Amino acid sequence: MEFLELLINALIAGILLGGFFAALSIGLSICFGLLDAVNIAHPTIIVGAAFCTFLLNDLLGIDPIVAGLILTPVFFLFGMGIYSLYYQFFERQSAEALRGLAFFFGLLFIAEVVMIMIFGVDHRLVSAPYIGESFTAVVTGMTFSVPYRLLAAFVIAGLMTLGISYYLSSSYFGRATSAVHQDMMALSLMGADPVMIKRIAFALGLATCGLAGALMIIVIPIEPAVGRFFIGNVFAIVVLGGLGSIPGTLVGALILGIAESLVSTFFGPSWAPAVSFGILLGVLAFKPTGLFGTGDTR
């Protein structure tokens, strides 16, 4: 009975965590999966957004979710800028893709150091009515407990990821983005500017960081280096779901969320970081195209 209670609680927490992970990964899925821009700074940019949320909440008393919505267009513009740089120095010169990786790694490091210089290494929190309390229910003698903060993050993450997923699969822009992935030439023939489409898609990927950052600080206390702990998660999710597949990313996020939650519950939270790495290596070893991937991995 006690085991069952633990298990069900772990599964519920895992699904909620999966929703949060989906919010962290969907932007990377666009940049990496659809545009081949391997933005390893993605989680760190999310932490940046989390600190912006902290400032808006701490100084102006704005609700973190509202703050995330305010930040989204700001990060969209930021993404336009970063992509312009990336395009100028790497894509246009068809430089080795790996040099682009070093570029994003440099960005990751700079962002982290700047945050340490501004905010120090202390953990920061935000306050909102739904943070701190838990929803508790007793069913057939078992106690189930769901923190409202996870619930809030799950709802917002779900709305955002499903919205983007729907938009990319049904709009002209979404189809153009997958065309950019498959055939640049055909797209120019259709009269669309592939570079512009890529820039907007990349910016959309970074725009998700705005809201994802707000969700991050709702879910956990943050410090500048916390992004590193999510690098394994977001890449494991995108690779597990399959490059180029946004729905795959959502499924991958749920799987990883549940897996991490189970490991935390039954083996202790200190083992959680090993889960994503295990999944990442497992997928690369046995099915590198992921669950729903179409791209080639060689």
Binding to another protein (CB under 8 A): which residues in 26-65? 38, 40
Structural tokens at position 233: 């998660």
Residue 133 engages another protein in binding (rule: CB under 8 A): no
Q: Quick one: which of 135, 166, 266, 271 contacts another protein (CB under 8 A)?
A: 271
Residue 274 engages another protein in binding (rule: CB under 8 A): yes
Q: How far is the CB of 283 from another protein (least distance, A)?
A: 10
Q: How far is the CB of 287 from another protein (least distance, A)?
A: 11
Write the binding mask 91 to 130 for another protein: x where contact by CB under 8 A, - elsewhere: ----xxxxx-xxx-xxx-xx-xxx-xx-------------
Residue 232 engages another protein in binding (rule: CB under 8 A): yes
The whole-angstrom separation of Cα 157 and Cα 218 is 12
As beta bridge partners, residue 233 has none
Per CB under 8 A, the segment of 52-60, 122-130, 246-254, 274-282 that binds another protein is 274-282
> Could you tell me which residues come within 8 angstroms of residue 288 by beta carbon, excluding any fewer than 6 positions away?
239, 297
The whole-angstrom separation of Cα 169 and Cα 178 is 9
Distances 170 to 116, 139, 188, 252 between C-alpha atoms, Å = 41, 41, 20, 22
Enumerate long-range contacts of 147-151, CB under 8 Å, 24 or more apart. 149/218, 149/219, 150/13, 150/16, 150/17, 150/20, 150/219, 151/16
Would the CA dihedral through 8, 9, 12, 17 be positive or negative?
negative
Per CB under 8 A, the segment of 53-61, 185-193, 194-202, 284-292 that binds another protein is 284-292
Q: How far is the CB of 240 from another protein (least distance, A)?
A: 12
Structural tokens at position 58: 């701490």
Q: Which is nearer to another protein, 265 or 294 (CB)?
A: 294
Q: How far is the CB of 156 from another protein (least distance, A)?
A: 27
Write the binding mask 66 to 95 for another protein: x where contact by CB under 8 A, - elsewhere: -------------------x---xx----x
DSSP per-residue string spanning 36-90: ----TTHHHHHHHHHHHHHHHHHHH---HHHHHHHHHHHHHHHHHHHHHHHIIII
Chain contacts with another protein (rule: CB under 8 A): 38, 40, 85, 89-90, 95-99, 101-103, 105-107, 109-110, 112-114, 116-117, 225, 228-229, 231-232, 235-236, 239, 268, 270-271, 273-274, 276-277, 280-281, 284-285, 288, 294, 297-298
